[in-house]
Amino acid sequence: MLWKTDFEADWIVEMRRIMEEHWAMDLASAKTEELAALFFHARTRRVEPRPRVVHLSNAFVCPLEHEAGWAELKVKIETGEDLSPHLSLKIEDFKGKDGLLLDWGIYHFHLGRAQHAKNKSFVERTGPLVFGFPTDDAFHAVGIYRHGTWSDSSVIETLHANWPHLTRAARMQGSGMSLGQLYTDADREMLRAAGSSQRCIMGIERRTHDDSALRLALQQSHDALSRKNMIREIENSLMAAFDQTMCKYRQILNNYYPAHKSTGFTERNLTNNFVRALENVLGKDAFAWFEAPLSSEEKLYLDAIVFDPTTKSCFLIEAKRFSNLNKKIAETIHDIQRMSYQAHHATLELGLDKLKIEHRYAIVLVDIWTEGEAKQVTFENWPACLDDASLDLIRTGGFENLMIEKEWKHNYKIMMAAKKL
């Protein structure tokens, strides 16, 4: 008896079965002749379940409110569980595209813990996402980014700075090659939308020029990359310091209520705990001073200043209790203005020996009790009350999850707003 087989037809049947049964894809409109390409594209958008060692970049900082979600995802990565529930809902769309993945090989993972309300195959969606580059035996966690920052060049720059071997395929090869064009994040987003990909490390074209032009362009590119990564590292340190401060406050307030017949906690405690946390995050070379003079002629002082020789940065800090709301908001706006004066910077840095400051940040720390509607609105819309759009480094936290059973824990909040000067 002669057996006649059709391997191609069998292969197509099997691919269709996997895509429909295992990947929940509706292939009603898929063309048979395109199925193979669609299959491999869909498989690329998934991460093969296998145990991996997790490596964190030097820019990786997890927001306090998502630490539990990241801990669960990390366990799944290390034990080799299927990570598909944390991926985009679009992985069930056979036509779906992921520019971040196709361009740079980087996946994004949601940090939800509960099931998605409409699709039980996924976890609930989160704004912050883990951007990661998985290999056969490792998971390289680049950082946590806002949803939609798919074209942010700091993503590939951080990957390259921490694990350059992972970006080797995207680098220019050969001699006599130079940077013909530097693409902005907006350029890259537009090109991806048009179906174009820029796989070179800085999103560039290949053109021939002399070696001196190449060296100059590479140096300029390296300087820009280094500065951008430095700023990102500094700003991540600020966020991490706030999170550490919240952890310390929770430890304290679980064991001690530092007020009697009053809800007032002196702002000095907020300043001290934040400064201690910031020094810890920045490293052993960082140092601080409280009540630092802003002027050599007037009695003007800053609550605290922190210097970091490693990043050549300084942090000007003012703390407030929003008790009398309108008055304290006005005082805080004035504090921000004082911290922005260049003459005050000169006075603050007058006593430095060899350290030359390149990055300055103004930081306001606020605690607020939200019993009244006005204060609740102030907290919910923080820092809108300060009327300063440049305050783009924002953190808030509460104490609802304290172990104690006290009503006040639902009303006490801490807020931070900061900006680069």
The tokens describing 169, both together, are: 């395929």
How many whole angstroms separate alpha carbon 109 and alpha carbon 130? 5
Q: Mean pLDDT lowest for which of 33-42, 72-81, 133-142, 410-419?
A: 33-42
pLDDT at 44: 80
pLDDT at 58: 87
pLDDT above 80 (res 155): yes
pLDDT in tens, 309-332: 999 999 999 999 999 999 999 999
For the chain, the structural domain boundaries read 7-44, 53-209, 237-420
pLDDT above 90 (res 270): yes
pLDDT at 291: 96
Task: Determine the number of helices (DSSP H) and then strands (DSSP E) in the chain.
Answer: 11, 12
Element containing residue 8 per DSSP (H, E): helix 7-17
How many whole angstroms separate alpha carbon 107 and alpha carbon 203? 18
pLDDT at 368: 95
pLDDT in tens, 168-211: 655 544 444 444 445 566 666 666 565 545 544 444 333 333 44
> pTM (2 decimals)?
0.53
Per DSSP, helices labelled H in 209-292 are 211-255, 267-282
CA distances from 237 to 52, 128, 185, 275, 283 (A): 27, 17, 24, 12, 10
Strands 138-146 and 53-56: parallel
Residue 386 banded pLDDT, cuts 50, 70, 90: very high
Residue 343 phi/psi, 5-degree rounding, is: -60, -35
pLDDT in tens, 211-232: 454 455 545 555 555 666 778 8
pLDDT above 90 (res 349): yes
Per cent of the chain over pLDDT 70 is 83
pLDDT at 185: 63
Average pLDDT over residues 370-375: 92
pLDDT above 90 (res 108): yes
